[in-house]
Structure 1
């Protein structure tokens, strides 16, 4: 039986682990969808202390920031793929949203933000009148 041996395999694995830890430390996968008259943003934040989650909105930029603490190990690490540190994500929101009415909840490692559409941005009916007949409504 032949065996394949790569002298750089351990180096590749070590570099991949280091690169993955720095890359994943700032990763925050999220979904954004519209549901009726509001938008829902769901961000994955597993292992985050809920007290460290900070959500802020300045101008039209929504910022989500959280801290994932590292588990201290008395012994020697054999594998360390769960990154620790600060994770952050910024999303630029469009016009027509009620930024002062955003609500947030955190459950099962998922931060859920509900962003309502502003009243002035919702579709409305405009009455059109003309002389000689009754008023007619046109949907805008």
Structure 2
């Protein structure tokens, strides 16, 4: 088996592992777009057990939590150990005009997709314009 050893990459990995003082949740990368009458949020969560993914709505705050647990392998010599375990957290303020009762989520191939529908009140609508007839009244003296 051929292995390439890059001492600078290894030094960078060790330095970031030692100097990374963040003990809290990690940020998950996401995309968000509007498609017609709903928003679609796609968040990368590779290697996450679907049972650990939690999507909550509290008022206008959408919270996504997930946990990646790493296998503990004893008695092995690691050649590379770059993937980190831990918790992931993302919170979004939904604002007005969202139908929070019908938010749906799916997890497939390491991607969490949350569909957020726009409420009926917030959808664009056409307002009918009525032509009013002007009536003239005769004034008698």
Establish whether TM, by shorter chain, passes 0.5: yes
Q: Which runs of 4+ in 1 moved over 6 A?
A: none
CA distance in 2, matches of 1:58, 1:15: 39
Consecutive unaligned residues in structure 2, runs of 5 or more: 1-6, 135-141
Q: Within 5 A, what are the aligned runs for 1:1-140?
A: 12-19=12-19, 22=22, 26-74=26-74, 75-132=76-133
Equivalent-residue separation in structure 2 for 1:54 and 1:10 (angstroms): 34
User: TM-score with structure 2 length normalisation?
Assistant: 0.78
Larger radius of gyration: 2
Question: For the aligned residues, what is the CA RMSD?
Answer: 2.8
Q: TM-score, normalised by structure 1?
A: 0.78
Q: Secondary structure at the match of 2:64?
A: strand
> Structure 1: which 5+ runs fail to align?
1-5, 134-140
Question: Kindly tell me: are residues 9 and 42 of structure 1, through their superposed partners in 2, closer, same or farther at Cα, counting changes over 3 Å?
Answer: closer
Is the contact between residue 96 and residue 121 of structure 1 (CA under 8 Å) also seen in structure 2? yes
Q: Measure how far apart 1:11 and its partner are.
A: 5.6
**What is the CA–CA distance in structure 2 between the aligned matches of 1:20 and 1:61, rounded to whole Å?**
29
SS at match of 1:111: strand
SS state at 1:48 partner? coil
Deviation at 1:116, TM superposition (A): 0.6
Take 2:87 and 2:106, find their aligned partners in 1: how far apart are those partners? 19
Contact 1:17 1:81 in 2 (8 A): no
